[in-house]
């Protein structure tokens, strides 16, 4: 058994989250990922010091990689960089467009000069257009893409994790993999371009289309679903929090009978269809809330399950870390870092007959000595 991307060599001129997250997936799948860092290192190394003194963002997005330091403005370092590129299958960068130009990073030229190379460029707003050269951090893109406008309740809210960076990283990954499949068939290299804005707007398509072709900007509904009832977050007697979802009228009748203990509400014309329930959503939620005031979280979940109502516990992050559904399926493993071993989630990829071993988180310039002999040091492929 071997890793799916064994012997694939990736050179990554990357920082922060979007590109590092894409290349971490490649590393998880067995690729050799050479992370080229500036002399002071990827600034994400210093976002926080939560994981044994290391940044949680950096540990998450950079396991399994090799780290070298190169100053691309230095002639000797640039020669080393070009040597790495000559032995690479994939090049990826998320340097800002202006900085990339000053460093001579031109993905079109790289593909012309290196037959079969897949070169991926991540940017904030894409090439061309009035904002192509602007800084584009995750929350800025959340704002531009409309994600903040539909998140929250009475007040708008950001999404609670780096959704723009992650969406772009996943599209970079899928674009690279698609280009590699085509290269396997045709021998052709490719330029792959991904922007944070394009990626997140794609994820916003359902509310965007609904607003454009329908009634306009939807209201923010906070803890409840905008178009189905009852579907939302509710407290329980013991201070717990659950989410329950009734998807159709049959489930509502079952919920009224088994959970609410009031069979007549299932066919009550005020609540019998979903449009009826939405029009009286406050009344419907008060019925649910009154019942949950009598139940602890465990009992509420058990009773809702008996009624056939989809239910989830609203876990805090400490509860997620110990979640039985993850623990009993072996979704954690040990990964080594410069400051000691840490427990991490395994890759979501589950490919039959494929052996994937998660590599360590590199110290800055940990593999610098291998630059003296890149082909042997990096296991470069003979893709030409």
The residues carrying an active-site annotation are 225
Q: Give the C-alpha separation, 207 to 84, whole Å.
A: 44
In the block, residue with structure tokens 């965007």: 208
CA distances from 330 to 56, 66, 323, 327, 345 (A): 21, 26, 11, 5, 9
What are residue 51's DSSP bridge partners?
54
Nearest to 91 by CA among 169, 190, 159, 164: 190
The three-class DSSP label of residue 69 is strand
- Please check whether residue 130 is in contact with residue 108, taking contact to mean a CB–CB distance below 8 angstroms: no
Gap between the Cα atoms of 242 and 221, Å rounded = 17
φ, ψ of residue 298 to 5 degrees: the values are: -60, -45
Give residue 194's region: left, alpha or beta (phi > 0; psi -120 to 50): beta
CA 52, 55, 57, 60 torsion-angle sign = negative
Q: Which residue in this structure is represented by tokens 């000595």?
A: 369
């Amino acid at each position: 058994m071997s890793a799916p991307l064994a012997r694939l060599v990736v050179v990554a001129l990357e920082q922060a989250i979007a590109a590092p997250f894409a290349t971490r997936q490649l590393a998880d799948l067995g690729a050799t990922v050479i992370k080229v860092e500036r002399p002071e290192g990827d600034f994400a190394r210093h976002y926080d010091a939560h994981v044994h003194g290391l940044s949680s963002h950096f540990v998450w997005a950079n396991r399994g990689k090799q780290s070298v330091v190169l100053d691309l403005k230095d002639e000797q370092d640039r020669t080393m960089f070009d040597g790495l590129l000559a032995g690479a299958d994939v090049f990826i960068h998320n340097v800002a467009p202006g900085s990339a130009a000053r460093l001579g990073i031109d993905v079109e030229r790289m593909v012309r000069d290196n037959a079969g190379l897949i070169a991926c460029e991540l940017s904030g707003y894409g090439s061309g257009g009035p904002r192509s050269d602007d800084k584009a951090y995750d929350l800025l893109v959340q704002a531009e893409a409309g994600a903040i406008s539909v998140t929250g309740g009475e007040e708008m809210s950001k999404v609670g994790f780096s959704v723009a960076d992650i969406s772009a990283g996943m599209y970079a990954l899928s674009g690279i993999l698609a280009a590699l499949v085509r290269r396997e068939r045709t021998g052709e290299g490719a330029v792959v371009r991904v922007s944070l804005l394009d990626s997140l707007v794609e994820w916003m398509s359902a509310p965007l289309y609904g607003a454009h072709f329908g009634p306009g900007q939807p209201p923010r509904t906070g803890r409840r679903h905008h178009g189905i009832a009852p579907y939302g977050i509710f407290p329980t007697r013991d201070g717990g929090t659950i989410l329950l979802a009734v998807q159709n009228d049959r489930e509502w009748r079952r919920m009224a009978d088994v959970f609410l203990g009031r069979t007549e509400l299932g066919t009550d014309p005020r609540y019998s269809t979903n449009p009826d329930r939405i029009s009286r959503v406050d009344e419907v939620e008060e019925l649910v809330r009154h019942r949950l005031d009598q139940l602890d979280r465990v009992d509420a979940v058990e009773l809702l399950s008996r009624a056939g109502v989809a239910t989830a516990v609203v876990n805090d992050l400490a509860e997620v870390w110990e979640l039985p559904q993850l623990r009993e399926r072996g979704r954690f493993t040990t990964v080594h870092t410069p400051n000691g071993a840490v427990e991490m989630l395994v890759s979501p990829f589950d490919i039959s007959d494929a052996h994937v071993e998660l590599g360590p988180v590199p110290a800055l310039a940990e593999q610098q000595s291998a630059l003296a002999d890149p082909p042997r040091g990096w296991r470069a492929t003979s893709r030409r």
